[in-house]
Chain A
Amino acid sequence: MKMNIAEYKGVFVFAQQVDNKLSGIALELIGKGKDLAKDLNTEVTAVLVGHEVKDLADELAAYGADRVILVDDPELKEYRTEPYAHALSSVIEKYKPEIFLVGATAIGRDLGPRVSARIHTGLTADCTQLDIGDFPMNPIPGKEQLHNQLLMTRPAFGGNTIATIACPEFRPQMATVRPGVMQKAPKVEGAKAVVEEFNPGFTPDDKYVEILEVVKSVVDTVDIMDAKILVSGGRGVGNPENFKLLDDLAEVLGATVSCSRAVVDAGWKPKDLQVGQTGKTVRPNVYFAIGISGAIQHLAGMEESDLIVAINKDETAPIFDVADYGIVGDLNKIVPALTEKLKAELANKN
Chain B
Amino acid sequence: MDFMLTKQHEMARTLFREFAEKEVKPLAQEVDETEVFPRGTVEKMAKAGFLGIPVPKEYGGQGCDILTYAMCVEELSKVCGTTGVIVSAHTSLCCDPILTYGTEEQKQKYLPDLASGRKIGAFGLTEPGAGTDAQGQQTKAVLEGDEWVLNGSKIFITNGKEADVYVIFAVTGMIEKRGRMSKEITAFIVEKGTPGFTFGTKEKKMGIRGSSTYELIFTDCRIPKENILGQQGKGFGIAMHTLDGGRIGIASQALGLAEGALERTVEYVKERKQFGRSIGQFQNTQFQLADMATKVEAAQLLVYKAAIAKNTQKVYSVEAAKAKLYAAEVAMEVTTKAVQLHGGYGYTREYDVERMMRDAKITEIYEGTSEVQRMVISGALLK
Contacts and interface: CB of A to CB of B under 8 A. Distances in A.
Contacts of B200: 235, 262, 265-266
Given A262-B201, A265-B201, A314-B151, A296 B138 contact: no
B195 interface: no
Given A261-B201, A316-B138, A296 B128 contact: yes
Contacts of A293: 128, 138, 153
A334 to B, nearest CB: 18
Interface string B312-355: 00000000000000000000000000000000000000000000
B217 interface: yes
Contacts of A235: 153, 200, 217
A251 to B, nearest CB: 28
Contacts of A261: 201
Interface string A269-304: 000000000000000000000000101110000000
A317 interface: yes
Contacts of B151: 314
Interface in B129-145: 129, 138, 140
Contacts of B140: 314
A297 to B, nearest CB: 6
A32 to B, nearest CB: 45
A317 B129 contact: no
A318 interface: yes
B201 A295 contact: no
Contacts of B201: 261-262, 265
Size category, A interface: 10 to 19
B217 A318 contact: no
Given A295-B129, A296-B129, A317 B217 contact: no
B138 A297 contact: no
B128 A295 contact: yes
A296 to B, nearest CB: 6
A229 B153 CA distance: 28
Interface string B190-205: 0000000000110000
A317 B138 CA distance: 8
A318 B129 CA distance: 9
A266 B127 CA distance: 18
B160 to A, nearest CB: 13
B128 A297 contact: yes
Interface in A323-347: none
Contacts of B217: 235
Nearest to B217: A235
Contacts of A262: 200-201, 215
Contacts of A295: 127-129
Contacts of B138: 293, 314, 316-318
Interface string A22-34: 0000000000000
Contacts of A266: 200
B152 to A, nearest CB: 8
Interface string A156-177: 0000000000000000000000
A265 B151 CA distance: 19
Nearest to A294: B129
B154 to A, nearest CB: 12
A266 B128 CA distance: 17
Interface string B208-224: 00000001010000000
Interface string A64-79: 0000000000000000
A319 to B, nearest CB: 11
10 contacts: A235-B200, A261-B201, A293-B128, A293-B138, A295-B127, A296-B128, A314-B138, A314-B151, A318-B129, A318-B138
Given A265-B215, A295-B128, 10 more contacts: A235-B217, A262-B215, A293-B153, A295-B127, A296-B128, A296-B129, A314-B138, A314-B151, A316-B138, A318-B129
Interface of B: 127-129, 138, 140, 151, 153, 200-201, 215, 217
Nearest 10 pairs between A and B by C-beta?
Answer: A295-B128, A265-B201, A265-B200, A295-B129, A318-B129, A297-B128, A296-B129, A262-B200, A296-B128, A316-B138
